């Protein structure tokens, strides 16, 4: 099916602050509603406001952002950090989306505002040129769960392939960014086997990664439905076994989520840590998505302004 990009006007403020997890208080921007990548496990696809096909592109976003920056500047309320991609990837494969993304990033960077993003997409040259001008302001995070091309074709077929992502991580290091990697969602039975983790970590080490954050797939009814529809039956049921006997519970803002069995997660994270230790990569487990384990922050903000953030002063 051809995915459409429908241009719409954004009415609500752009610099909105989500009130959940470690993003609390940090303005988050989504360039589109919906995401062309359509990963099989994506929870944002289940939001009632997400279009079932294609995406809505906020074509007036740079204009609105420029006005908000100017108004906040006058009031001394510019944010230190703005994050992207909480419910859509900012590097989706469409020229109009990339144009709006580029304008928005440029506006923020030119004001000296730190930007953070998490992507599984393909970053084109004009973005690398922009980031090279502001390496200290860019927190680049790459989602990379497995190097298996079978995994890629089943779970994230429209994203950049894992080897391109590895090259992008390397490129980010070369231009002076400090890229980090998010291994989320780990798919039980599929991407948590020792040999798979080792292969991934060895490649990450080779491209200079020093730290990763990890979390297992959190199921929601809508995610289960997607997986059931989009995965081969045997794979779907083998994943489901890891959730057997676990009640639905509240995780972050959702009241109906299911975590992988606790012992299984503990074992899995232990394995990630062991392999990480062996290869000199620090592993953090996402505390927000593992509320029943000792809390660990995978706080992604590594900017010089971190001190201010940790003091709770999120705005200049
Ligand atoms: S890239 Fe991220 S936001 Fe886009 S579909 Fe995949 S998981 Fe969802």
**Per-10-residue mean pLDDT, the chain, length 316:** 85 80 80 96 92 94 97 93 91 97 98 96 98 97 97 97 98 94 96 97 95 95 96 97 91 81 97 97 92 78 43 34
Residue 300 is given by DSSP the state -
- How many whole angstroms separate alpha carbon 61 and alpha carbon 76? 22
pLDDT attached to residue 306: 40
Which residues, other chains included, contact 193 with Cβ-Cβ below 8 Å and sequence gap of 6+? Answer: none
Supply the DSSP string of 261-312, one letter for each residue: PHHHHHHHHHHHHHHHHHHT-EEEE-STT-TTS---------STTHHHHHTT
Classify domain 5-310 by CATH number.
Answer: 3.80.30.30
- How many whole angstroms separate alpha carbon 135 and alpha carbon 116? 12
Kindly calculate the radius of gyration of the chain based on its CA atoms and give it in whole angstroms: 19
Question: Which among 227, 45, 47 has a CA at the least distance from the CA of 154?
Answer: 227
pLDDT attached to residue 305: 40
pLDDT attached to residue 81: 93
- How many whole angstroms separate alpha carbon 7 and alpha carbon 85? 18
Which residues, other chains included, contact 168 with Cβ-Cβ below 8 Å and sequence gap of 6+? Answer: 122, 123, 142, 160
Tell me the CA distances in angstroms from 132 to 2, 69, 75, one per residue in order. Answer: 34, 23, 30
Q: How far, in Å, from the CA of 166 to the mean position of ligand 1? A: 18
pLDDT attached to residue 63: 97
Handedness of CA 210, 115, 26, 87 (dihedral sign): negative
Q: How far, in Å, from the CA of 38 to the mean position of ligand 1? A: 6
Residue 163 is given by DSSP the state H
pLDDT attached to residue 26: 87
Report phi then psi at 234, rounded to 5. -65, -35
Q: What angle do CA 81, 85, 87 make, to 5 degrees?
A: 130
Do you know the residue count of the chain? 316
In contact, 103 and 84? CB cutoff 8 Å: no
In this structure, which residue's CA is closest to atom 3 in ligand 1?
88
In this structure, which residue's CA is closest to atom 6 in ligand 1?
39
pLDDT attached to residue 308: 38
Q: How far, in Å, from the CA of 77 to the mean position of ligand 1? A: 30
Please give the number of the atom of ligand 1 that sits closest to the Cα of 156: 6
In this structure, which residue's CA is closest to atom 5 in ligand 1?
38
Please give the number of the atom of ligand 1 that sits closest to the Cα of 41: 7
Q: How far, in Å, from the CA of 92 to the mean position of ligand 1? A: 9
Helix (H) or strand (E) holding 171: helix 162-174
């Amino acid at each position: 099916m051809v995915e459409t990009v429908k241009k719409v006007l954004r009415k609500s403020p752009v610099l909105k602050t989500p009130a959940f997890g470690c993003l609390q208080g940090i303005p988050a921007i989504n360039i589109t509603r919906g995401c062309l990548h359509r990963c099989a496990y994506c929870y944002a696809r289940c939001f009632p406001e997400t279009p079932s096909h294609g995406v809505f592109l906020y074509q007036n976003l740079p204009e609105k952002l420029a006005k908000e920056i100017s108004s906040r500047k006058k009031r001394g309320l510019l944010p230190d950090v703005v994050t992207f991609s909480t419910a859509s990837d900012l590097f989706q494969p469409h020229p109009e989306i990339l144009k709006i993304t580029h304008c928005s990033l440029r506006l923020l960077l030119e004001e000296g505002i730190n930007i953070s993003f998490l992507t599984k997409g393909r970053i084109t040259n004009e973005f690398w040129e922009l980031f090279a001008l502001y390496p200290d302001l860019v927190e680049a995070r790459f989602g990379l769960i497995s190097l298996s091309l079978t995994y890629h074709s089943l779970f994230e077929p429209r994203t950049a392939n894992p080897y391109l992502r590895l090259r992008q991580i390397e490129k980010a290091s070369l231009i002076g960014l400090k890229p980090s990697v998010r291994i989320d969602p780990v798919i039980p039975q599929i991407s948590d086997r020792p040999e798979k983790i080792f292969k991934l970590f060895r490649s990450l080490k080779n491209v200079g990664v020093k730290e990763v954050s990890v979390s297992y797939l959190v199921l929601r009814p809508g995610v289960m439905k997607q997986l059931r529809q989009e995965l081969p039956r045997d794979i779907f049921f083998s994943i489901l076994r890891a959730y057997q006997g676990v009640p639905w519970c509240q995780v972050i803002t959702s009241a109906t989520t299911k975590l992988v069995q606790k012992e299984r997660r503990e074992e899995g994270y232990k394995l990630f840590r062991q392999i990480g230790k062996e290869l000199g990569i620090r592993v953090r487990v996402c505390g927000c998505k593992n509320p029943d384990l000792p809390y660990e922050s995978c706080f992604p903000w590594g900017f010089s302004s971190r001190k201010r953030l940790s003091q709770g002063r999120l705005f200049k």
